[in-house]
């Protein structure tokens, strides 16, 4: 009887690994002061109502994402309470997990993660995530679906006959990623290709192929089945299908750019500018390293870069298929950029070692180049400026409203200072169990107010936006009925909705409300004859 091969040796944790994790934690903790943008306000509201009041997404509260991101916010509320920094802690956990996943991807199939690789992966993931993206673009579903999709890819890459659990892990991670956001299906295609390639390399027989395929499929089915069974059990499956499939289908087919190719090119150029010079440095170094490996016949290095290219293509297709190119949508590119950074920096260290430099110098040099490149860039300087602003606020040199104006975008009429002011006004003028209603797309107000609205439409974009007018008349009727039954004393309308619809102040003046306070584009209204 042959002896099974030993399990891969677990690498010792090095000082370099610790340094990378410290960098990640420092940048992550700096994000704990971030307020919510509009998207985070949506997910938080759904998660909060789910966690604290048993309100089921889709059935009781309206939003159109798949449920993964709501699970994270519900978990945050359960563990940390009604705070904005809870999801930032979960985000940091996602960044640390991404670092380990990238390090695993950097290892050759079946080989252990080398000493220092986790640290370098943490450095690159951190700089491309926290170092590039702001409060609006972080704490989204993109980080988590990318991490889970790449975990599925790494598990497939390291599949071996003696590691039979890995196909299940791969499928489980991919299923969870799909629950987080469906565009990860393109990473899923890469997972299937990689798993098939590994089976071919191992010359697996039909029985082994079937066992691996079934194990992978079962793993993938678990998160999807749990999700469907949960919503079916709570009578919310029809509402989930109506919104996730129907409303999203209408939205996708009606809200698109006039020239998506040109917009995509512009967005790519913008992302490259945000990641410059670090992104360009990583790609250039990787290209040089690949060319050298090809010239000298280094097949292992060539294969590593080939895998990184595959990850790049899969992640980019996840972005492109959405036909939406906001900065947050480029989050999946963190994985391939960090992977290329790890491979290129490891190659640079080996090259320096071949030139006679000391072991310490070969490990330290890439860190110095990367950190210097980042902190001398416009993006790096903006991050430093942000930390100085936080310091001035915490030390009392700047008051809170002045500080909060940093979190604003004039082109979309968003200023978190106004959102918080309105939320605190509502909190001060209402009882804890008293309903309030915020119209338009400003759900972050509910977070600072710590108030809720019993109706399903706590925001109105799917009532007011022409490209999201799926079942508009039915939804408006439902919203009208909830308003008549709930009779909130205060509601918040918006002056930047010019048409007479479910966000404009005139709409509510006709329904017995009068404006009493204005702040920015917000109009706080009170019900007459209460």
* 426 close to 449: Cβ distance less than 8 angstroms: yes
* 502 close to 510: Cβ distance less than 8 angstroms: no
Tokens encoding 498:
């010019």
pLDDT at 322: 85
pLDDT at 1: 47
Per-position DSSP letters for 165-219, written without gaps between them: HHHHHHHHHHHHHHHH-GGGHHHHHHHHHHHHHHHHHTT--HHHHHHHHHHHHHH
Alpha-carbon span 461 to 466, nearest angstrom = 9
Instruction: Tell me whether residue 530 is exposed, middle or buried, using C-beta atoms within 10 angstroms of its C-beta: 0 to 12, 13 to 18, 19 or more.
Output: exposed
Q: Is the dihedral of CA 130, 133, 139, 141 positive or negative?
A: negative
Q: How far is CA 367 from CA 129, 173, 471, in A?
A: 17, 31, 54
Length of the chain: 530
The neighbour count for residue 336, using CB atoms within 10 Å, is 27
pLDDT at 164: 87
pTM confidence score:
0.93
In the sheet that 522-527 helps form, which strands lie side by side, from edge to edge?
A: 436-438, 490-494, 522-527, 513-519
Structural domain boundaries of the chain?
409-527
Alpha-carbon span 322 to 320, nearest angstrom = 5
| SS3 state at 57 | strand
Tokens encoding 19:
């340094």
| SS3 state at 345 | helix
The widest CA-to-CA distance across the chain, in whole angstroms, is 88
Alpha-carbon span 439 to 324, nearest angstrom = 24
The neighbour count for residue 259, using CB atoms within 10 Å, is 10
pLDDT at 98: 99
Alpha-carbon span 27 to 400, nearest angstrom = 22
* 418 close to 522: Cβ distance less than 8 angstroms: yes
Listed in sequence order, the residues at least 6 apart from 383 whose beta carbon sits closer than 8 Å to its beta carbon are 130, 131
Alpha-carbon span 55 to 92, nearest angstrom = 27
| SS3 state at 328 | helix
pLDDT at 325: 84
| SS3 state at 525 | strand
Alpha-carbon span 14 to 477, nearest angstrom = 62
| SS3 state at 406 | coil
* 327 close to 137: Cβ distance less than 8 angstroms: yes
* 51 close to 67: Cβ distance less than 8 angstroms: no
Tokens encoding 478:
């439902």
The neighbour count for residue 5, using CB atoms within 10 Å, is 11
Apex CA 284: angle with CA 280 and CA 289, to 5°? Answer: 150
φ/ψ of residue 406, rounded to 5:
-60, -30
Per-position DSSP letters for 210-266, written without gaps between them: HHHHHHHHHHHHHHHHHHHHHHHHTT-HHHHHIIIIIIHHHHHHHS--SSHHHHHHH
Alpha-carbon span 61 to 422, nearest angstrom = 22
Listed in sequence order, the residues at least 6 apart from 354 whose beta carbon sits closer than 8 Å to its beta carbon are none
Report the chain (530 residues): mean pLDDT per 10 consecutive residues: 51 86 97 97 98 97 96 98 98 98 96 95 98 96 98 96 93 98 96 95 93 97 98 97 93 74 81 88 88 86 92 93 88 96 93 90 94 94 95 93 95 96 98 96 97 96 86 92 96 86 88 96 90
């Amino acid at each position: 009887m042959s002896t099974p091969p030993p399990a891969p040796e677990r690498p010792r944790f090095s000082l370099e690994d610790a340094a990378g994790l410290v960098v990640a934690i420092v940048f992550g903790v700096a994000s704990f002061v971030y307020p919510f943008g509009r998207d985070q306000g949506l997910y938080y509201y759904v998660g909060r109502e789910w966690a604290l009041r048993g309100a089921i997404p889709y059935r009781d509260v309206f939003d159109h994402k798949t449920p993964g991101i709501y699970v994270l916010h519900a978990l945050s509320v359960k563990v940390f309470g009604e705070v904005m920094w809870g999801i930032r802690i979960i985000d940091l956990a996602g960044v640390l997990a991404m670092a380990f996943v990238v390090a695993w991807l950097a290892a050759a199939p079946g080989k252990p993660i080398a000493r220092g690789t986790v640290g370098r992966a943490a450095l690159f993931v951190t700089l491309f995530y926290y170092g590039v993206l702001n409060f609006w673009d972080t704490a989204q579903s993109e980080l988590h679906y990318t991490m889970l999709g790449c975990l599925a890819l790494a598990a497939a890459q390291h599949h071996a006959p003696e590691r039979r659990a890995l196909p299940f892990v791969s499928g489980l991670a991919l299923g969870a990623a799909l629950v987080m956001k469906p565009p990860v299906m393109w990473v899923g295609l890469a997972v299937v290709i990689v798993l098939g390639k590994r089976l071919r390399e191992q010359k697996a027989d039909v029985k082994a192929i079937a066992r691996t395929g079934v194990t992978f499929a079962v793993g993938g089915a678990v998160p999807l089945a749990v999700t469907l069974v949960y919503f079916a059990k709570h009578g919310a499956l029809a509402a989930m299908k109506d919104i996730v499939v129907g409303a999203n289908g209408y939205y996708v087919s009606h809200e698109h750019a006039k020239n998506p190719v040109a917009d995509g090119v512009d967005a790519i150029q913008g992302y490259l500018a945000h990641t410059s010079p670090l992104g360009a440095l990583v790609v250039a170094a990787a290209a040089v390293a690949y060319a050298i490996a090809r010239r000298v016949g280094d097949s292992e290095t060539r294969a590593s870069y080939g895998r990184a290219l595959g990850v790049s293509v899969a992640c980019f297709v996840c972005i492109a298929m959405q036909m939406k190119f906001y900065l947050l949508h480029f989050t999946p590119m963190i994985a391939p950029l960090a992977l290329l950074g790890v491979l290129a920096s490891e190659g640079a260290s080996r090259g320096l070692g071949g030139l006679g430099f000391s072991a310490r110098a070969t490990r330290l040099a890439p860190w110095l180049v990367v950190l210097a490149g980042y902190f001398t860039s416009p993006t790096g300087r903006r991050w430093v400026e942000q930390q100085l602003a936080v310091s001035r606020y915490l030390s009392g040199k700047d008051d809170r409203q002045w500080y909060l104006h940093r979190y604003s975008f004039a082109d979309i009429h968003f200023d978190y200072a106004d959102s918080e002011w309105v939320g605190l006004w509502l909190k001060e003028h209402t009882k804890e169990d008293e309903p309030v209603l915020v119209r338009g797309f400003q759900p972050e107000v509910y977070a600072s107010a710590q108030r809720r609205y019993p109706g399903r439409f706590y925001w109105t974009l799917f009532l007011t936006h022409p490209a999201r007018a799926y079942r508009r008349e039915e939804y408006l009727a439902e919203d009208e009925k909830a308003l008549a039954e709930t009779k909130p004393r205060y509601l918040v309308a918006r002056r930047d909705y010019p048409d007479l619809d479910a966000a404009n102040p005139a709409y509510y003046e006709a329904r017995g409300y009068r404006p009493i306070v204005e702040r920015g584009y917000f109009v706080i209204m009170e019900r007459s004859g209460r």
